[in-house]
Amino acid sequence: MHTWGVFFLYLQIMNKKYSKKVTTHQEQLKLLKSRGLVIENEDRVLRYLNQISYYRLSAYFLPYQSIKDKFNDGITFNQVLNTYLFDRKIRLLVFDCIERIEIAIRSQLVYVLANKYNNSHWQDDKNVFIKPVITKKGYSIDPFNEFQQIITKNCKAKTPEVFIKHYKKKYRTPVNPPSWMCVELLTIGELSRIYTGLQKNSDKQDIANYFGLHYKVFASWLHSLTYVRNICAHHGRLWNRELAIKPDILLKPKYDWLSKDFEINSRVFYFISILKYLLKSANPNNNLKSKLEEIMHKYSEIPVKFMGIPSNNTGELMIWQNEPIWK
């Protein structure tokens, strides 16, 4: 296409105005019926459109539409709703596992570094962290000062955490509370950045050893934990999502792991397997497998292949329970 043609096409796209009209629930119901969705009970559908919203539900239409905006023959509202409920159950299960793992990571970060440096306040030592750097995109990476700012903000808050208030009331020096208090102030995203920002790879490895991982894989998985945790916290769709932040593939597992067929690290089943691997250390007696089986059994009509469960040569879904980590 001629340069001017490309330019004008660009202008048309940039100037395009959003023109979709606001619709009532009754109009949304009519639209669903016109697109071939089987409605068993109109009052029930209207109730759920009130509770969940058309826009949120629309993300669950796509697996049942071979042609855009047209439901496959025989697809019912109940199937769509069950897919939404299935996703919610998976999301809550994942969120619960991440919480347990996050607590274990906090514990290891504090324990390893406090004992290694024989210093209750290692977070106040610049030498523990990498020096400040500016990325090619202009972002500043300064884990030491980031951590200090988080501590200062919380210490000066009008309503600080009880343990911060107690420390400030009882002690004058050091100014900052000990590391085991300060680490509790970090979000999981901040925790990920602080870990990545440690100066010595040996420090990172000593923490990762608890989880049976190389520190580079652990850093990648921690980044993915942050990403998926945020999806769960904002009630986002998870079951068939293509993950924007892919966790590194584990090539040299210390414990039982997945076969090569299951190395689909852009999908949620691989991530759930990561949770299972990390829980071996964080919560060895976890019941993740039985809970996952229970959800899949209850919503057996949901096409779990979109979670990243592969098919064999005959097109049948492979049995994930037979994988070494899940046995």
Tens-digit pLDDT profile for residues 166-185: 999 999 999 999 999 999 99
| Model pTM score | 0.91
* pLDDT recorded at residue 100: 97
- Residue 10's pLDDT is 63
User: How would you write 248-308 as a 3-class SS string?
Assistant: CCCCCCCCCCCCHHHCCCCCHHHHHHHHHHHHHHHCCCCCHHHHHHHHHHHCCCCCHHHHC
- pLDDT over 70 at 5, yes or no: no
Q: What is the mean pLDDT of the chain?
A: 94
The residues, ordered by sequence, that sit 6+ positions from 104 with a Cβ below 8 Å of its Cβ are: 210, 211, 278, 281, 282, 283
User: Which tens digits make up the pLDDT trace of 121-148?
Assistant: 999 999 999 999 888 888 889 999 999 9
pLDDT (0 to 100) of residue 136: 81
Bridge partners of residue 76, in order along the sequence: 38
Q: What is the mean pLDDT of residues 228-239?
A: 96
- Residue by residue, DSSP assigns 158-182 as SS--HHHHHHHHH--SSSSPPHHHH
Asked if residue 15 has pLDDT above 70, the reply is no
Average pLDDT over residues 271-278: 98
Reply yes or no on whether the pLDDT at 2 is more than 70.
Answer: no
Dihedral of CA atoms 303, 309, 314, 319 in degrees, nearest 10, equals: -100
Contact between residue 295 and residue 89 where contact means Cβ atoms under 8 Å apart: yes
Worst-scoring range by mean pLDDT, 94-108, 127-141, 190-204, 294-308?
A: 127-141
pLDDT of residue 4: 61
**In the prediction, which pLDDT does 315 show?**
87
Give tens-digit pLDDT for 190-216: 999 999 999 999 999 999 999 999 999
The pLDDT value given to residue 19: 75
pLDDT at 324 over 80: yes
Residue 13, pLDDT above cutoff 80:
no
Average pLDDT over residues 298-313: 94
